[in-house]
Amino acid sequence: MTEARLIQGNEACALGAVAAGCRFYAGYPITPSSEIAEYMARHLPTNDGVFVQMEDEISSLGAVIGASFAGVKAMTATSGPGFSLMQEHIGYAVMAEAPCVIVDVMRAGPSTGRPTSPSQGDVMAARWGTHGDHPAIVLTPGSVAEIFELTVRAFNLAEELRMPVIVLYDEVLGHTRETVTLPDQVTTARRPAPTVPPAEFLPKAAGPDGVPPLPAFGDGYRFHVTGLTHDERGFPTDEADEAGKLIRRLHAKVEARRDDIVEVETTACDDAEVVVVAFGIVARAAAEAVAEARARGVRVGLLRPRTIWPFPDREVATITAGASTVLVAEMNLGQVVREVERAVAGSVPVQAILRADGEAIDPETILDALDLQGVSA
């Protein structure tokens, strides 16, 4: 292990990307993610990589997709307005099965909103922003160390499943500096390679895991890339059976690994009368509130998703089954709370602490909410 270092969250993201094997970054500066681009501009050239500042976020993700098909692990980073511009290319990357990583450091919106203020308002955009029936994997770190860890994990999932993977965190975490010890080495994954000669190669013929092999341009394999529905040869088709087969496979390759992808962290939930659900910086405030409540003899626990999509509905239902109330705290006007309500299906009352003014939820607000629930000492 390396020595402990004081690292900013956005720097940890860049370091995690390089450690995971990222060798191409295309992006456009936008607060509060710009430090990721700055660090990548510094680190990639010394690691046999390429950094390109593009003219906008649309072209940024387009360049990332192109680099991915050239055989390079590639990423971009942005915030809300830029994330909106990337949505069409996110859908294209899903359909074309281009492995890549997109980091969204959330800020207050809508529109340009409060550029230097935190938010958690992009939860649904990360899942449903692009159109059509598409799968999504979105990881939500809760510390500087986790930003490094989950950035590495995002690259591994993107490569193994041939799809875009989103890392979603807020401005506070992006600009927080914490002392962390980063590993000297990390486990990395590579996309599946063809096992047949070029003459027998079908670009979208998937194996048992639902993931087709992906050669790089120039490897001697010819293949067509399109955002249209296509058959196993990779060529567009209007046949309903072929289109349906493709869309079902895109979902099935994620659903088959759902239990490996979805991660939650729990604190003091075994006997909790109230379970607080929170992610990102709000989970940090919730952890302090839970510790204070426990010190008062109150049975409160914390459930923190590290994966927000696929949503951990089974885990939420199981962990909250013995509680009398679930309290969801999030910096928006109600996005995660609706998923929690769907997961518990009326078995437990669900209350919400919502804030959408560009300020973070503090521990006192959560403790006050516990008082309202009648469980605080």
The pLDDT of residue 377 is: 43
| Share in percent of the chain as helix, strand, coil (round to 5) | 40, 20, 40
| Cα separation, 282 vs 335, whole angstroms | 14
pLDDT band at 3 (very low <50, low <70, confident <90, very high): confident
| Cα separation, 37 vs 51, whole angstroms | 8
Q: What is the pLDDT of residues 173-204, one digit of tens each?
A: 999 999 999 998 999 999 999 999 999 999 99
Domains present along the chain, CATH in parentheses? 5-180 (3.40.50.970), 266-372 (3.40.50.920)
pLDDT band at 369 (very low <50, low <70, confident <90, very high): very high
pLDDT band at 372 (very low <50, low <70, confident <90, very high): low
- Cα→Cα distances 209→54, 252, 263, Å: 35, 9, 21
Q: What are the contacts of 236-241 at 24+ separation with CB within 8 A?
A: none
User: Span 50-63, mean pLDDT?
Assistant: 98
pLDDT band at 244 (very low <50, low <70, confident <90, very high): very high
The pLDDT of residue 359 is: 96
Q: What is the pLDDT of residues 77-106, one digit of tens each?
A: 999 999 999 999 999 999 999 999 999 999
- Single-letter amino acid code for the residue at 298: V
The pLDDT of residue 63 is: 98
| Cα separation, 142 vs 266, whole angstroms | 13
Does the structure show a pLDDT above 80 at 261?
yes
Average pLDDT, the chain: 96
User: Can you point out the beta strands (E) in the chain?
Assistant: 5-8, 24-27, 50-53, 74-78, 100-108, 114-118, 138-139, 164-170, 177-180, 264-267, 274-277, 300-305, 307-309, 325-330, 350-354
Does the structure show a pLDDT above 60 at 128?
yes
pLDDT band at 371 (very low <50, low <70, confident <90, very high): confident
| pLDDT more than 90, % of the chain | 96
CA dihedral 178, 365, 78, 264 (to 10 degrees): 70
Does the structure show a pLDDT above 60 at 123?
yes
The pLDDT of residue 149 is: 98
The residue to which tokens 């518990």 are assigned:
344
Does the structure show a pLDDT above 90 at 376?
no
The pLDDT of residue 375 is: 60
- Cα→Cα distances 269→321, 322, 363, 371, Å: 10, 9, 18, 18
| Cα separation, 263 vs 50, whole angstroms | 32
- Which structure tokens are listed for 156? 């591994």
Does the structure show a pLDDT above 90 at 213?
yes
The pLDDT of residue 87 is: 98
The pLDDT of residue 147 is: 98
- Which structure tokens are listed for 364? 């006192």
Q: What is the pLDDT of residues 340-364, one digit of tens each?
A: 999 999 999 999 999 999 999 999 9
- Which structure tokens are listed for 23? 């060798």
* Range from 116-125, 229-238, 363-372 carrying the lowest mean pLDDT: 363-372
Closest CA to 150 of 169, 167, 164: 167
**Distance between terminal CA atoms of the chain?**
43
CA dihedral 167, 125, 302, 15 (to 10 degrees): 10
User: Span 255-271, mean pLDDT?
Assistant: 97
Q: Any idea what DSSP says for residue 264?
A: E
- Cα→Cα distances 267→278, 319, 377, Å: 12, 11, 19
Does the structure show a pLDDT above 50 at 282?
yes
Q: What is the CA radius of gyration of the chain?
A: 21
| pLDDT more than 70, % of the chain | 98
Question: Rounded to 5 degrees, what are φ and ψ at 374?
Answer: 75, 25
The pLDDT of residue 16 is: 97
Q: Is 157 helix (H, G, I), strand (E, B) or coil?
A: helix
The residue to which tokens 């309202």 are assigned:
372
Give the length of the chain.
377
| Cα separation, 97 vs 161, whole angstroms | 8
User: Span 293-303, mean pLDDT?
Assistant: 95
- Which structure tokens are listed for 55? 């003219």
